[in-house]
Amino acid sequence: MFKKILIANRGEIACRVIKTARRMGIATVAVYSEADKEARHVALADEAVLLGPAPSRESYLVADKIIAACQQTGAEAVHPGYGFLSENENFARRVEEAGIIFIGPKHHSIAAMGDKIASKKLALKAQVNTIPGWNEAIETPEQAVKIAQDIGYPVMIKASAGGGGKGLRVAYNDKEAFDGFSSCRNEAKNSFGDDRVFIEKFVESPRHIEIQVLGDAHGNVIYLNERECSIQRRHQKVIEEAPSPFISDATRKAMGEQAVALAKAVEYQSAGTVEFVVGKDQSFYFLEMNTRLQVEHPVTECITGLDLVELMIRVAAGEPLPLAQADVKREGWAIECRINAEDPLRGFLPSTGRLVRFAPPPVSMEAAMPVPKDGGVRVDTGVVEGGEISMHYDSMIAKLIVFAPDRTQAIARMRQALNAFVIRGISSNIPFQAALLAHPQFVSGDFNTGFIAEHYGQGFSADTVVHDDPLFLVALAAFVRRKARERAAGISGQLPGHGVKYRPDLVVVVQGAHGEHAHHPVHIDAFEPVSGKADVVIGGRHFAIQSISKLGDMLMKGTCNGKAFTAQIERSDHKNPLGIRVAHNGKQIEALVLLPRAADLLKLMPHKAPPDLSKFLLSPMPGLLADISVAPGQKVQAGERLAVIEAMKMENILTATQDGVVAELLATQGESLTVDQPILRFQ
């Protein structure tokens, strides 16, 4: 067994690998960029080596520097994690040539599966179900249309070297096939330096289901059941679960056996994933093979009780697999939510900056440790409170994983865990995750890869979130205000006749964005300060709330009508010092809790409209102003490119919404922008 390994990655996956290595008694070496010198993975490792500047192309993607770091520290093996160089055949080969063990498949296996056209041919040869299509590179849009007609619409046009949703189009007719081919080819050339494009049948109402495989150097290959990854936004996975609520035991077995056949065909040694697209009739077709550890591997670990990172390390060290196919368990239900630094209310744009508060829910499971029989909550993360979410790297800041005896309990546990996850300083997708988990179609298991596009096609907004009981949030706001008045009334030294009084009748004003406030008369009875009990009555409904959470605590736990809850409650921002913000199950309200007379007077107050900013181009996210495409005095037309902002490995192009003339530039190229910072002004 290795004495020391280097982790050629960062963030949560680097921390995850370190946990297993530590349990196995293996010393670890972290690598880091200048932006990551205070990062969690650097602190956790036994040693750390600086690679270079913040951009990954100058640090985490430089193979020479990583190999040199191995030689400098005496690391015998490299674990690549996922992303970066994990599926780079040249890196794997160079590591092997340097006499260092690559904790992953051999470079020839990566090469065989890395090219979509080559991998499809291999799958056909191994008798794996493949989607009907044209497997040779297509030269012209006219040829693309002819092939699409032969296969039958709809078809999917894909770049051979594609990934992450780039170089991919769905065509339903000749025109879309013609235009889609040209777009895919250009995108593929710009993104991957490879303009080869192929066409295959588009499976309607498809589900994305993947099989985890594991092979060793002795010819043994097994499959560790499946993961359901159909909840995706723009081809990026959002929620994953194991097992799938859709496929039958017979389909699972057939998919597993075909995945094993493919892995054996490429002499696969390590953990890998064979991805399938599955039709509503449970017909399944090979999509691609990911020759690395997947982001969503924890859900497989939960239902099988295995540590996939440990198995990867043992296989790389030459050990045979410690179990056969018949030994693979499938117990309970696991769900993973990817917690991303993005603002769902602003079209999921990246959100960078300081993590002012980062308090995950209490954990009862941990990576590299035995899985509790009754399940629990696990958080895999590479950040700490006070840390910086950099614009240079991926937007994922944590993975929230729950495990329970069945799917219903797993969903309930995940909703509770999301309610208890506190992140401040940046925006996160937690409200969106909570909304997805509450959606009836998700709860029933009746969904496919088009689920988010179908239900949130116009984006995600506070109005699209449907809460089980909106008045519960109103009752919590009233309860907290009543508790605050009770405490204020007990402060000593108040002038006689002028002390704070608390009254049972209040009005909770739920504020709308455009001045359309909703008034809820509330009566609070039988308030007991010591036990934290009160009966909050709204419109004849009783909310018997009990909570001993302290005022000022962002997280409020307690019971309502005997049922446990966790909610986040805090004072609103400085513009609204009397306001209370309540968040629960993805729904958030801004409320004022007033005496009836004050609420009546509030109705007479005119709504102050926000300032007109239509003459300004504002930055929709924090990021680097990579390019300004216009100059003062220049006429622009609607749709014309104005500026480019770089954030989290993505280029975001800002375009003009209407015709106009540029008056002045308010930011300079290369400047770091904040949210809503003006970039330019129109006349």
The residue extents of the domains of the chain are 4-103, 104-130+207-331, 132-201, 332-466, 470-603, 616-682
pLDDT value for 321: 98
Structurally, at CATH architecture level, domain 616-682 sits in Beta Barrel (2.40)
- Mean pLDDT, the chain, rounded, equals 92
Question: Are residues 480 and 486 in contact, defined by beta-carbon separation less than 8 angstroms?
Answer: no
Q: In 428-571, which ranges are continuous DSSP H helix?
A: 430-438, 440-444, 451-455, 470-489
Q: Do the two domains 4-103 and 332-466 of this chain adopt the same fold?
A: no
Burial letters for 159-169: b for 16+ Cβ neighbours within 10 Å, e otherwise? Answer: bbbbbeeebbb
Question: Are residues 195 and 136 in contact, defined by beta-carbon separation less than 8 angstroms?
Answer: no
**Secondary structure E strands in 514-632:** 518-528, 533-538, 541-546, 555-560, 563-571, 579-584, 587-594, 616-618, 623-628
Q: In 194-280, which ranges are continuous DSSP H helix?
A: 249-265
Neighbours of 493 (CB within 10 A): 5
Fold of 470-603: Glycoprotein, Type 4 Pilin (3.30.700)
pLDDT above 70 (res 649): no
CATH class name, domain 104-130+207-331? alpha beta
**Residue 382: half-sphere exposure toward Cβ, Cα within 13 Å:** 30
Active-site hit among 288, 301, 336, 590 = 288
Give 455's pLDDT tier (boundaries 50, 70, 90): very high
CA distance 192 to 161: 7
Residues 499-544: tens digit of each pLDDT: 888 889 999 999 887 778 999 999 998 888 888 999 999 999 999 9
Question: Are residues 277 and 206 in contact, defined by beta-carbon separation less than 8 angstroms?
Answer: yes
What lies within 8 Å, CB to CB, of 132 at 6+ separation is: 151, 200, 201
Fold of 332-466: D-amino Acid Aminotransferase; Chain A, domain 1 (3.30.470)
Highest mean pLDDT among 143-157, 355-369, 619-633, 661-675: 355-369
End-to-end CA distance of the chain: 69
CA distance 226 to 242: 6
Would you state the structure tokens that stand for residue 589, as one six-digit string? 């309200």
Highest mean pLDDT among 70-79, 113-122, 231-240, 596-605: 70-79
Question: Are residues 227 and 300 in contact, defined by beta-carbon separation less than 8 angstroms?
Answer: yes
Residue type present at position 565: F
Give 574's pLDDT tier (boundaries 50, 70, 90): low
Give 163's pLDDT tier (boundaries 50, 70, 90): low
* Helix and strand numbers, DSSP H then E, in the chain: 17, 39
Residues 86-111: tens digit of each pLDDT: 999 999 999 999 999 999 999 999 99
- Quickly list DSSP for 576-610: -TTEEEEEETTEEEEEEEE-HHHHHHHHTSPP-PP
**Residue 144: half-sphere exposure toward Cβ, Cα within 13 Å:** 32
**DSSP classification of residue 392:** T
Give 274's pLDDT tier (boundaries 50, 70, 90): very high
User: Stretch 299-321: mean pLDDT, rounded?
Assistant: 98
Query: Using CB atoms within 10 A of its CB, is residue 23 exposed (0-12), middle (13-18) or buried (19+)?
Result: middle
CA dihedral 343→346→351→354, nearest 10 degrees, is -80
Nearest to 301 by CA among 275, 330, 337, 274: 330
Structurally, at CATH architecture level, domain 4-103 sits in 3-Layer(aba) Sandwich (3.40)
Burial letters for 303-338: b for 16+ Cβ neighbours within 10 Å, e otherwise? Answer: bbebbbbbbbbbbbbeeebebeeeebeeebbbbbbb
User: Stretch 337-365: mean pLDDT, rounded?
Assistant: 93
How would you classify the pairing of strands 505-510 and 422-424?
Answer: unpaired
Question: Are residues 184 and 233 in contact, defined by beta-carbon separation less than 8 angstroms?
Answer: no
CATH 3.30.1490.20 fits 132-201, yes or no: yes
Per the listing, tokens 């909304």 go with 435
**Residue 391: half-sphere exposure toward Cβ, Cα within 13 Å:** 19
Residues 464-507: tens digit of each pLDDT: 888 999 999 999 999 999 998 888 888 889 898 888 888 899 99
Highest mean pLDDT among 72-81, 174-183, 389-398: 72-81
pLDDT value for 222: 98
671 included as an active-site residue: no
Task: Note the maximum CA span of the chain.
Answer: 91
How would you classify the pairing of strands 236-242 and 221-233?
Answer: antiparallel
